[in-house]
Amino acid sequence: MLISIVAPCYNEEAVLERFHDRIQAVAEDLLPLGHDMEFVYVDDGSRDRTLAVLKRLAERDARVRYVSFSRNFGKEAALLAGLRHASGDAVVVMDADLQHPPELIRRMVQLREEGHDQVVARRTRTGDGLARTLTARLYYRLVNRLVDVELVDGAGDFRLLSRRVVDAALALTEYNRFSKGLFAWVGFPSTAFTYENAAREAGRSSWNLRGLLNYGIDGLLSFNNRPLRAALWLGMVLLCCAGLYTAWIVGAALIHGVQTPGYVTIITAVTALAGVQMVMLGVIGEYTGRIYYEVKRRPHFLVKATNVERTKDLIP
């Protein structure tokens, strides 16, 4: 079996060599078992010397392929590029910051040989802040009620995919890529195991609160139209309430005559309804925005430098 390691790298000059060393050790262990390995590193427009490090690695090790973007296109685009350039029978996607212990690949390969198409390594939340852990837990509970596919907390982008899963994921050409959900959507026999979370070895996480929130919204919206359905339901419920209230006011006016006060009621109703409408416009806007990006059919990324022969990705 040829195993491709796909690792997106954004400003990872500090850990890349160490990452490569550790993964090479795993490759050596797997060689006697009849498994070859290739490495596909995607430099996501890093501003540090990541590309230089990659070039050096490629000179030293003929199994290294690198793809470097013209600018930072985001991790999802980097993953896509990695999958496109991977030629293995199985592909392991993992972060380059050593938060995904390379040693676990042995176990993944073993599980792949037992017939699982997707092997997911789930991380625990050890070392994460309490706030982040709680929000994550809450988020997954909410999202799984809304989304058609099941998203699992901690089951992120460290997984082994069989060739048919990779091909299926590549056949999904949408612009807004939420790979966690895409892989879940693809399906095929999957299995998971848990590992202890490790802190970043060097450099800095590129996630901030806003990024996480936006990622969360993407997860909610990428897979279904249930938020639109929810908006419809909320609208109907509000309409019913309004009907009942109107009947009550008119009835009261008929019986007791018109009583003018009602400033508080009016202001409350106006502001509440305006708020609800803005939220719903937002929901509709989100979907429209997605359609806008989809119909533009822009490439997911542009390649600046690579040692992979194929150039078709320059103009996908």
Q: Which residues make Cβ contacts (< 8 Å) with residue 103, sequence separation at least 6?
A: 22, 26
β-strand partners of 8: 42
Which is closer to Mg ion, CB of 95 or CB of 313? 95
Q: With binding defined as CB under 6 A, does residue 16 bind ligand UDP?
A: no
Nearest to 28 by CA among 63, 75, 55: 63
Mark the segment that binds Mg ion (CB under 5 A) among 53-61, 99-107, 231-239, 305-313: 99-107
Residues 77-136 that bind ligand UDP (CB under 6 A): 78, 95-97, 99
Q: With binding defined as CB under 5 A, does residue 11 bind Mg ion?
A: no
* Smallest separation (angstroms) from ligand UDP to the CB of 124: 14
Using CB under 6 A as the criterion, what x/- string covers residues 32-71 for binding ligand UDP?
Answer: ------------x---------------------------
Q: d(Cα 242, Cα 239) in Å, to the nearest integer?
A: 5
Which is closer to ligand UDP, CB of 132 or CB of 310? 132
Q: Angle, to 10 degrees, between the axis of helix 226-256 and the axis of helix 263-296?
A: 160
Which is closer to ligand UDP, CB of 58 or CB of 228? 58
* Smallest separation (angstroms) from Mg ion to the CB of 269: 47
Which is closer to Mg ion, CB of 44 or CB of 97? 97
* Smallest separation (angstroms) from ligand UDP to the CB of 63: 19
**Residue 74 contact, options Mg ion, ligand UDP, none, Cβ 5-8 Å cut-off depending on partner type:** ligand UDP
Q: What is the largest CA-CA distance in the chain?
A: 93
Out of 20, 35, 65, 75, name the contact with ligand UDP by CB under 6 A.
75
For the chain, where are the E strands, in sequence order? 2-9, 36-43, 64-69, 90-93, 118-123, 155-162, 190-195, 303-306
β-strand partners of 161: 91, 118
CA distances from 18 to 40, 70, 201, 304 (A): 16, 25, 10, 25
* Smallest separation (angstroms) from Mg ion to the CB of 8: 10
CA distances from 274 to 245, 261, 288 (A): 18, 22, 21
SS3 state of residue 238: helix
Residues 190-209 that bind ligand UDP (CB under 6 A): 205-207
Q: With binding defined as CB under 6 A, does residue 13 bind ligand UDP?
A: no
Which is closer to Mg ion, CB of 100 or CB of 300? 100
**Residue 206 contact, options ligand UDP, Mg ion, none, Cβ 5-8 Å cut-off depending on partner type:** ligand UDP
The size of the interface with ligand UDP (CB under 6 A), counted in residues, is: 16
Q: Which residues make Cβ contacts (< 8 Å) with residue 5, sequence separation at least 6?
A: 23, 37, 38, 39, 40, 91, 92, 94, 105
Footprint of Mg ion on this chain (CB under 5 A)? 95, 97, 99
Interface contacts to ligand UDP, rule CB under 6 A = 8-10, 12, 44, 72, 74-75, 78, 95-97, 99, 205-207
